[in-house]
Structure 1
Amino acid sequence: MGSAFEAALARRSRSKVTDDAPSHAELIDLIGAAGRVADHSSLRPWRLIALRGKARARLGRALARAAGRSAEDAGKYERKAERAPLIIAVVYSPKKSSKVPSWEQEAVASGVAHMLSLLLDEAGWGVFWRTDSNTRSKRVAAMHDLTKRERLLGWLYVGGVPENAKPGRRSPVPAEKLLTELD
């Protein structure tokens, strides 16, 4: 493994992946590392749901219904959900706390998702974070068995990196324009 700096610079989203996917055991190791993000009071206000096999088609149907699409249109949504052999739903699962506001807890959940995507990429998996206009719809929440307090942040689509995958180009981050300093 390289440095975190090198991994961050090399990271890229891969919307086209193969049918290979990390095993449950591999995911457990990566999630254990991703969960080390800064987390005030160690509340762990997040959880992840792995969708494989038919669960991906159910996700597609839930998204189609949430969008008000007909049963005939659901196939398009199912195909989109089956673009990767593994989908990891990222769930913000807030905890009661007098010290840690909800916005901070949601930031922790987002941090876990980003860290996991970085770790998956570094481990050689293709990954991209997907959201949808209906990510937080009641139908999609019900499909994931979310509680009333939980919110879906999106999905990490994970699969193998195709042999002919191009390294990709990302424009440099204009760090000088994005950093200000106060005296």
Structure 2
Amino acid sequence: MTRDTSSQGPVFQAMANRASQSKVTDEAPTHEELRDLMSVLNSVPDHSRLRPWRVIELRGDDREVLGRAMAKTRDMSTEKGIAKATRAPLVLAIVVSPQKSKKVPYWEQEAVASGVAHYLTLLLAEAGWGTMWRTGDGTRSKTMRKAHKLADGEELLGWIYVGGVPETQKKPKPRKPLKIDEHLTPGL
């Protein structure tokens, strides 16, 4: 059976159209809308179906807690840290929550959590929300662990900032084409 790989279906189009939005409006998906989008994250490739991840939903004052932790870990003023953390009405902290397994090493579980983050940004973009993946030097600091109330063994991967897409940013900047031959190697 031959497959039609030239087809540009909805997943292809969603990926082709996804772009980071550094500036967003004060609109954000509701908790229920977020739950609905996250309901399909069980399709992320996950060896042994461990689901070694979780997402922390930060809104309102929770973002100020994040901002104070950012200020402390990045040697900046509290005001600047809070300004950074409140750039979007919703911030999703992506956490690797590794499960004990003799078959699945930590790095593979971290890859699953990373996959969750990328699927989630794609789902949010497809639903019409602007997203931006952010990390930083302090992501895995003791201060951030405490601020996010991480359990022993958990690690913070970063944050997805989520908000409405301003009318002025509807069209993403054109991307440079991918040089496929530099990234796809035929055989060994």
Which TM-score band (shorter chain)?
Answer: over 0.9
How far apart, in 2, do the equivalents of 1:3 and 1:166 lie? 19
How far apart, in 1, do the equivalents of 2:23 and 2:41 lie? 23
Q: Is 1:10 aligned to residue 40 of structure 2?
A: no
Which of 168, 171, 178 is matched with 2:176 structurally?
171
How far apart, in 2, do the equivalents of 1:16 and 1:137 lie? 26
Q: Is 1:98 aligned to residue 102 of structure 2?
A: yes
Matches within 5 A, 1:53-92: 53-69=60-76, 73-92=77-96
Q: CA deviation at 1:176?
A: 2.1
SS in 2 for 1:171: coil
Residue in 1 that maps onto 2:4: none
- Asked if the contact 1:86–1:158 (Cα under 8 Å) also holds between the matched residues in 2, the reply is yes
Given the two structures, how large is their TM-score scaled by the length of structure 2? 0.92
Residue in 2 that maps onto 1:38: 45
Which of 127, 136, 139 is matched with 1:123 structurally?
127
Given the two structures, how large is their TM-score scaled by the length of structure 1? 0.94
Aligned residue type for 1:155: W
Q: CA deviation at 1:166?
A: 4.4
Q: CA deviation at 1:29?
A: 1.1
Residue in 2 that maps onto 1:25: 32
Residue in 2 that maps onto 1:181: 186
SS in 2 for 1:35: helix
Cα shift readout 1:21-62 (whole Å, capped 9, x = no counterpart): 001111011111133101011000000000000111110101
SS in 2 for 1:27: helix
Q: CA deviation at 1:107?
A: 0.2
- Asked if the contact 1:34–1:119 (Cα under 8 Å) also holds between the matched residues in 2, the reply is no
Q: CA deviation at 1:68?
A: 3.8
Percent identity of paired positions between Structure 1 and Structure 2: 55
Aligned residue type for 1:178: H
How far apart, in 2, do the equivalents of 1:107 and 1:161 lie? 28
The alignment's C-alpha RMSD in Å is 1.1
Q: Which moved more, 1:166-175 or 1:118-127?
A: 166-175
How far apart, in 2, do the equivalents of 1:124 and 1:172 lie? 24
Q: Which runs of 5+ in 2 are unaligned?
A: 1-8
Aligned residue type for 1:171: K
List structure 1 segments (4+ residues) > 3 angstroms apart after TM superposition.
Answer: none
SS in 2 for 1:164: helix
SS in 1 for 2:94: strand
How far apart, in 2, do the equivalents of 1:84 and 1:173 lie? 30
